[in-house]
Structure 1
Amino acid sequence: MGAGVGAAAVAGGSLLGPVGAGIGAALAAGGSLLAPMLGRGGVLTDTASRALRIATDSELPTQADVVVVGAGVIGVCSALYLAERGFSVVICEKGVVAGEQSSRAFGWVTNHGVADEIQGLAVRSKTLWHGMDRWLDDDTGFRANGYLQLCSSDEEIGAAEAWIESLRGRIDSQAKIISGAELATHAAGSTSAWKAALYQADDGGIESATTASVLARAARKRGVKIVESCAVRGIETEAGRVSAVVTERGVVTTLNLLVAGGAWSRLLLGSLDVELPLLAAYLSQQRTTPVAGPAGCGFGGPAAWRRELDGSYSLGAPVLGAPVTPDSFRLIGKFLPTMRAMREMGEEMNLALTSDFFRALRVPKRWALDRVSPFERARVLAPTPDHGLLDKALASMAEEFPVFREARVAERWGGIINVAPDFNPIVDTLPTLPGAVVASGFAFGMTLAPAVGELVADIISGSEPKVDRAPLKLSRF
């Protein structure tokens, strides 16, 4: 039941970060990347997409080597790497490209705060981000403009140093502790007397409203077919393995299926008798008008930021909403250890019982493949933003960096992520459904997307994976 967690940071070894629910005890020791964008509240509603609109395909192919469910950043990156291996790929998207969480992410690209067991995946993904523009011959919006974790106490500095030391000898890292004039340069305009900061120059960010769309555009240039308003209703099997995918617009014969449907993956695979232990978390975010604030990405106390290319800023609220749904009760046993650990750390559990509980009750778990599915009734779905939390977030940023007193709110939105009990993603084959792969449960989706896409291509092509698959397997639960 992902619980919201208050302001996080490295103090006391808090393990929170910017995009998760109940993330407290599950992330890497010594750091927090997750608290900045956490926000309570919100109710799911049909909403407009934030994503850059691109041209897509009007006709659904009747055959493909691989069918991908979902045109978010994970599905699109997977399609890119599959196309590179020579596979014909079609992406079926129930709404529009990147319409839901992929255009609502905070946009940090960093391995700080990522769980220790998937550090290799995160660092591999950063490497791929650094070469993405050259590979695609396009501007994805990624900029390696650094990540700053501000420290106000010796305890916080010690936690940051311990995290850096934990990487030594096994992870190629540029992380270091900075202070004095170097710190003043990176935190220019800050009012607090920060003692030091953890800084990674090779970290950076992407433009959440455009990056996944640019990747999708590049995928189409490489032969990937992307069909919007094309919900996948289910699959057909032959001799026990995937043989076709049934969509609202027809049937595609295939031997390979990738389920990368974000918050919808659990529902789709549940209809195929595959249990994904994922629960939802809601976040609230905003973008300000341009101001002359700090560069890159950073977090310190209640202030967290990502500077966009036009000089505007993405700012997140410091609390995350954990909607209570029927699945919360079904999965409580798997999530209890994390919840107990959070309580021991003094983290608050911000659960919310809203109309979303009753909405979830009305969603069928099974449906006929020749009838309208739940996915067709919710083309682009997101929670409403919590304006009170966002007001506080902007006020906190203005208190730390007075230049933000000149900023105005340009845009606000809600987002939804699904997380597993250990808050690591699930990227694995499905033993009960040969030919099917799942990639879902991402709290760090933008950071991990390229390496996950490469891993999916390795799995489907039978190549040797470049990262450790064990922490990503569904069988760990």
Structure 2
Amino acid sequence: MSRRIVIIGGGVVGCSVAWHLADAGAGDVVLLEREQLGSGTTWHSAGNITWSPVPSHDSSVLYAFDTIERLERETGQSTGWLKTGRLHIAQDADAVRKYESYNREATIRDIAGRMLSREEVGRVHPLLDPASAAVFWLNPLSGRVNPADLTAAYARGARQRGVRIVENCRVTGLEIRSGRVVGLGTSTGPIAADAVVVAGGQWSRLLMATSGIALPQWSCEHFYIIADVTPRLAASTPSFVMSEHRMYGREEAGGMLVGFFDENAKTIDAAALPDPFAFTLLNPDWDKIAPYFESAMEIFPVLADAPIRRFINGPESFTPDGSPLIGPWPDVEGLFLCTAMNSEGVTWSAMAGRLTAELVTEAKPSFDTSHCAPARFGCKAADTAWLQRQVSQHSVDPSQRVD
């Protein structure tokens, strides 16, 4: 009899897990999504994918590039992938040294990154003030996808390999007997399972709580704006990131997307969100974004007079250390986590899907698992006050955040 593996969550990560499991011939794979594929957090992702020579992005992002190419070739589904390169902008000495080290590593590896002169950067990004920063490093291994299309490509590839995908099916709880998962309850009835992968994003903690398990993740508000700039930007314009101001951005339909990682972010209890919360956003918070936007105007003066087309404020799940929760839950045989992507679900989706499939099938992991063990915070995960403080004040360098 074929082993049945049930995946909970049909965002970009859950669909990647489904495709990778099917590709590995893991057994009878079923994916359950509470609303529609790509809803929740995936749909409002900025979709950036950027290589950098740091452990969290090196092999993961290189694998993502290979996966995108393979998915498009095998499924015929476009992911919206557009290779633009990315400008890393530095003002202070620490940031300058960091990007100089990135440039050296790229040179060693024969990656065509380069430092730009002020004259060059003005040509590469026509809206940037070349006098606003000390160093500009152009990273060529960067670009963006359409998150909905990437999700659809994973899903199509999974279906082609026999995965059954069920939308509008809510999981109400796990069935655990004698220390192992044997099934789950859903809004359409019980389902037996030999293994379960929880990839429910910000709802993963709520689901695990029904089994008395506290996951070390919590949701925070994350926001970006889209401005109607003049002159309009070409789609090929490099995206950008500036760690000192916790700022990133790119071209968006001729306009300019500018996002920020708030160091004292507002936390969100997923249990308090409206139901349904499929393709839904939170209210704009202009006071919160104001100081970050002022910093952005120093780098891109055109923003001072540009009309704001849209304010995107969506909850995303974070961990206290900025690393995801990927791997088996130690006290329940057959239960695996693939959640809390820290606003990098698109970037990490390929890595997370492959790593989870390898762990479920007991294959040798292709990626380091030491930083993403789901139970690494121990009993602290049950302390919601501590958890909210940690994720609100997270200090992960946004130059390493690319969604």
**Change over 3 Å in CA distance of 1:191–1:176 after alignment to 2:** closer
Q: Deviations over 1:315-354 (max 9, x none)?
A: 2246366345xxxxxxxxxxxxxxxxxxxxxxxxxxxxxx
Q: CA deviation at 1:450?
A: 0.7
CA contact (8 A) 1:317 1:389 kept: no
Determine which of 237, 241, 248 is the counterpart of 1:304. Answer: 248
Amino acid at match of 2:137: L
Query: Quick one: distance in 2 between partners of 1:449 and 1:432?
Result: 25
Distance 1:380 1:321 in 2: 25
Structure 1 distance, partners of 2:307, 2:156, is: 32
d(CA) in 2 for partners of 1:395 and 1:132? 40
Q: Partners of 1:207 and 1:246 in 2: how far apart?
A: 33
Contact (CA 8 Å) 2:90, 2:136: kept in 1 or not?
Answer: yes
Quick check: 404-413 or 254-263, which moved more? Answer: 404-413
CA deviation vs aligned residue, 1:373-423 (integer Å, no higher than 9, x gap)? x99765566432324455776676566445657854443332112222211
The aligned counterpart of 1:226 is 165
Give 5+ residue unaligned stretches, structure 2: 378-403
1:473 aligned residue (373, 385, 399):
373
Q: What count of residue pairs does the alignment treat as equivalent?
A: 368
Alignment of 1:426 onto 2:325: yes
Counterpart among 432, 442, 462 of residue 362 in structure 2: 462
1:316 aligns with one of 259, 262, 268? 259
User: Scaled by the length of structure 1, what TM-score is found?
Assistant: 0.67
2:116 corresponds, among 178, 190, 202, to: 178
Change (3 A) 1:159 1:298: same
Deviations 1:175-230 (A, max 9, x none): 44333554333222322414331221011112245432443344334432222221
Equivalent residue for 2:48, pick from 108, 120, 125: 108
Letter in 1 for 2:371: P
Inter-CA distance 379–152: structure 2 relative to 1 (3 Å threshold)? closer
Change (3 A) 1:471 1:173: farther
> How do 1:335-350 and structure 2 match up within 5 A?
none
2: CA distance between counterparts of 1:94 and 1:435? 22
* Residue from 425, 446, 452 that aligns with 2:346: 446
Distance apart, 1:126 and its partner CA: 3.9
Change beyond 3 A, Cα 1:252–1:398: same
Deviation sequence 1:282-331 (CA, Å, 0-9, x none): 112233458522613113476632224x434332246366345xxxxxxx
Deviates further, 192-201 or 92-101: 192-201
**2:227–2:255 Cα contact (<8 Å) kept:** yes
In the TM superposition, residue 244 of structure 1 has moved relative to its aligned partner by: 1.6
Rounded to whole Å, the distance in 1 between the matches of 2:334 and 2:63 is 26
Alignment check: 8 A CA contact 2:78 2:149 kept: no
1:256 equivalent in alignment to 2:195: yes
**Structure 1 residue 118: deviation in Å?**
6.1
Question: Corresponding residue for 2:282?
Answer: 383
- In structure 2, relative to structure 1, the CA distance for the partners of 1:239 and 1:198 (3 Å cut) is same
In structure 1, the residue matched to 2:145 is 206
SS in 1 for 2:100: helix
Alpha-carbon deviation of 1:448? Answer: 0.8
**Identity rate, percent:** 23
CA-to-partner distance for each residue in 1:134-176, whole Å, 9 max, x for gaps?
243221012221111122355532221234557887x886544
Query: Is 2:129 the counterpart of 1:188?
Result: no
> 1 or 2 for the larger relative contact order (CA 8 Å, sep ≥6)?
1
User: Cα 1:217–1:260, aligned 2, differ >3 Å: closer, same or farther?
Assistant: same
Structure 2 SS opposite 1:212: helix
C-alpha RMSD over aligned residues: 3.3
For the residues of structure 2 that align with 1:79 and 1:272, how far apart are their CA atoms?
A: 24
Q: 1:20 matched to which residue of 2?
A: none
